[in-house]
Amino acid sequence: MQPNLHPQAMLINRTQREGLNGHRGLCIWFTGLSGSGKSAVANRVAQLLHEKKVHIYVLDGDNTRMGLNKDLGFTEPDRKENIRRVGEVCRLMADAGLVVLASFISPFKADREAVRELLTNDSLAEVFVRCPVEHCEARDPKGLYKKARAGEIRDFTGIDSPYEQPESPELIIDTEKTDMETCALEVVNYIIPRLKL
């Protein structure tokens, strides 16, 4: 911490905010390869939770790179900073009593662990969206794999940059073998019991 900075004590705390919302604040962190279905599942989960009157927000990798992180590229240090910033936002949102659904490739274990350390009271759950790179590449919804294979994109996760699979995520959903709706319901069924105050 900077020597001239001092934490400001707040009059309203997390417990009070969660009480007003009627549920705990949580961060559900979706990690997986590009094209694995992270954003599609997170968006459907958000819709299902919204219908249940849960206060939610979705943070998506592409969207944050168009605003909060638009100054970052895709080098390893920039990816690390991308995840660090998003982790801080998730910490604030969970502290506000929201359920934040964070959808990020987040290929490096150390970066995901750093996010976990930011969030307290068991308020982070890592969801590994498992899908083999061959299947993601066959889908290629944004045409990124094609560009990576053509050398137009460098350091592309799964092609010329590694993806370190989570070793012990709270939940694994398999989007190669399971349809998106079923995957979303799996996540919702995991979240609902954990919202209780």
Q: Are 86 and 27 in contact (CB under 8 A)?
A: no
Choice among 34, 39, 106, 161 that is catalytic: 106
Cα(16)–Cα(13) distance, integer angstroms = 5
Sign of CA dihedral 108, 114, 119, 123: positive
106 is catalytic: yes
Give 47's contacts (C-beta < 8 A, 6+ positions apart).
Answer: none
Query: Distances in Å between the alpha carbon of 76 and those of 160, 177, 185?
Result: 12, 31, 34
Residue 17: count of CB within 10 angstroms of its CB: 16
Cα(106)–Cα(30) distance, integer angstroms = 9
User: Annotated active-site positions, please?
Assistant: 106
